[in-house]
Amino acid sequence: MTDKLNNLLANYQIYYQNLRGFHWNIKGRDFFELHELFEQLYTDAAVKIDEIAERILTLGDTPLHSYEAYLSESDLKPATDISASAQSMTLIYDAHEVLIGKMNDVMEIAGEKNDEGTADLISPIINQMQKTNWMIGAWLEK
Ligand SMILES: [Fe+2]
């Protein structure tokens, strides 16, 4: 379980740093709206990252905590020099799909192991991220 959570943590950290870049580099008519949205998303991600890391500690393991570990463990890759709104939003949408898939993997193992604590932590994050992707999908006119 903690291996899966550490993998989720690594992906979340790359996602977080990508959001910082999108927040800083966004250009165009959507600047004010998206600069603010990306800040909301990375502020929320920071909270989730801390909760996931502390769940790993609660289960008796050590959360990954170096950039090197995150980069080697994460499926999501750094997104640099992105300033277009549609590209930023598409990358965020796709990152959410990856994270939701990873959280569903965690839920499956939590079910097998009767790990209600982990399930209780992860389930609302999935719900929230799916709702966010409904909205981003609407923005993208998917
Ligand atoms: Fe800022």
Q: What is the pLDDT of residues 90-113, one digit of tens each?
A: 999 999 999 999 999 999 999 999
Measure 111 CA to ligand 1 centroid, in angstroms.
Answer: 39
Residue 28 confidence (pLDDT):
98
Determine the pLDDT at residue 34.
98
Distance 55 CA to ligand 1 centre (A): 28
What's the 35 CA to ligand 1 centre distance in angstroms?
Answer: 8
CATH match for 2-139 among 3.30.390.50, 1.20.1260.10, 3.10.20.30, 3.40.1160.10: 1.20.1260.10
In which residue ranges of the chain is pLDDT below 70? none
Q: Which two tokens stand for residue 48?
A: 């989730």
- Axis-axis angle for helices 116-139, 31-58 (nearest 10): 170
Question: Which positions ≥6 away from 34 have C-beta within 8 Å?
Answer: 22, 26, 85, 88, 89
pLDDT (0 to 100) of residue 102: 98
Quote the CA–CA distance of 106 and 57 in Å, as a whole number: 16
